[in-house]
Amino acid sequence: MDFSSREWSTGGGAGQPPVLDLPFSQGVKAGPLIFTAGQAALDENGKLVGANDIRAQTEQTLKNIRGVLESLGASMKDVVKVTIWIKDYDDYAGMNEVYTQFFETPRPPRSCVQSNMVPLLEDEFLVEIEAMAVVSE
């Protein structure tokens, strides 16, 4: 298995997160492995979607994950691990409600931790999600 070749996703395409002036890529494919950056509820113009609405933010965040995966030749079905940072555990049920709509059973393993969310662009982010996927070469 060759992990030396790399393909990068910088965002900005249809259905992808916006191109941001930040020191990281939106995702990378190394051999059959794909890693996304932590995604937040930003639309293609870099505007926050769903201020104070965990369901709307989770949906946009997972759409951004899907966009990065698709730009690198994968889908949500290829995800093998998810990490979620949630600002307030009172939003856990609402986040889960939307999350289950994006992943078929059996769903990938995941971690979910409460975090004060480092405010990169907005102080209103309620959730951040990253994913790892494996695709056939």
* Domain residue limits, the chain: 6-134
% of the chain beyond a pLDDT of 70: 88
Higher pLDDT, 7 or 107: 107
Query: In this predicted structure, what is the pLDDT of residue 120?
Result: 56
Please tell me the class of the 6-134 domain: alpha beta
**DSSP code per residue over the chain:** -----EEEE---STTSPPP-SSSS-SEEEETTEEEEPPB-SB-TTS-BSSTT-HHHHHHHHHHHHHHHHHHTT--GGGEEEEEEEES-GGGHHHHHHHHHHHSPSSPPPEEEEE-----SS-S---EEEEEEEE---
Q: Name the pLDDT band for 124 (thresholds 50, 70, 90).
A: confident
Q: Is the pLDDT of residue 127 over 80?
A: yes
Q: Determine the pLDDT at residue 118.
A: 53
- What integer is the mean pLDDT of 43-56? 92
**Pick from 25-29, 86-90, 103-107, 114-118: least confident:** 114-118
